[in-house]
């Protein structure tokens, strides 16, 4: 109605889903991201997770842990589950998706790639390592989720610039795959992977430091911007 509005500057936007049951992530899911690290294109989705406690707001700070010196960025399209399901058929997946939002899969590369037995979990799930927002855009409002530009900038310098059309496994395939193993419930979040341009594979590598500002944006979905502290 327009009668119940407050100025954006007077409010703090929280993550659109603050405490989901599951935060499911996908690795190596863009062709250009595989190429930049010399990795083979996966034959099946590579699934890992973050703990829900990693979620933070779209404009909140990313806390740089003392335990890492290799903090990195990853802009990602995130799908939000809206309907419970198990063994979901690809053709029925969108019946189970509420909408989409922007995520930053912040990563401590030393913990992801060399420590903790090279299991990814700890390097991915420090507190504040999943900025999310600015809102859930319902699936009906997105013309084609697999044809959106997706970008990340650090201190105003463009680092990632790609399109969701380069996804290896698209949203229907990913949701169907994950639902083979676990029951998906409303509020579950699925991060679908990041394109090329992350810091660790640059020559020389570039990592985030305190004071940096990371902006992640996806066409039609909006922008999140987080300062590293």
Q: What domains appear along the chain, each with residue ranges and CATH number?
A: 14-228 (3.90.850.10)
pLDDT tens for 13-34 read: 999 998 999 999 999 999 989 9
Which carries the bigger pLDDT value, residue 7 or residue 226?
Answer: 226
Tokens of 212: 């940096």
Q: How far apart are CA 189 and CA 177, in angstroms?
A: 14
- In angstroms, how far is CA 100 from the centroid of its own chain? 11
Helix residue spans in 41-167 (DSSP H): 109-113, 121-124
Is 3 a residue whose pLDDT tops 90? no
Per residue in 44-87, pLDDT tens?
A: 999 999 999 999 999 999 999 999 999 999 999 999 999 999 99
Burial of 49 (0-12, 13-18, 19+ CB in 10 A): middle
Write down the pTM of the prediction.
Answer: 0.96
Round to whole Å and give the CA distance between 56 and 226: 10
Count helices and strands in the chain by DSSP H and E runs:
4, 13
């Amino acid at each position: 109605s327009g009668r119940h509005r407050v100025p954006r500057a007077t409010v703090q936007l929280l993550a659109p889903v603050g405490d989901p049951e599951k935060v499911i992530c996908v690795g190596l899911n863009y062709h250009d991201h595989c190429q930049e690290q010399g990795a083979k294109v996966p034959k099946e989705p590579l699934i890992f997770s973050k703990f829900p406690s990693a979620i933070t707001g779209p404009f909140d700070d990313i806390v740089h842990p003392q335990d890492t010196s290799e903090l990195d960025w990853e802009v990602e399209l995130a799908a939000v589950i809206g309907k419970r399901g198990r063994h979901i058929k690809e053709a029925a997946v969108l019946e189970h998706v509420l909408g989409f939002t922007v995520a930053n899969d912040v990563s401590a590369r030393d913990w992801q790639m060399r420590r903790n037995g090279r299991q990814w979990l700890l390097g991915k799930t420090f507190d504040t390592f999943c900025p999310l927002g600015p809102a859930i855009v319902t699936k009906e409002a997105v013309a084609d989720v697999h044809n959106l530009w997706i970008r990340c900038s650090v201190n105003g310098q463009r680092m990632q610039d790609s399109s969701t059309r380069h996804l290896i496994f698209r949203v229907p395939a990913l949701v169907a795959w994950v639902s083979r193993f676990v029951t998906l419930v409303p509020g579950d979040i699925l991060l679908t992977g990041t394109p090329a341009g992350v810091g660790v594979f640059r020559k020389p590598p570039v990592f985030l430091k305190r004071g940096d500002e990371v902006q992640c944006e996806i066409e039609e979905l909006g922008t999140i911007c987080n300062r590293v502290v």
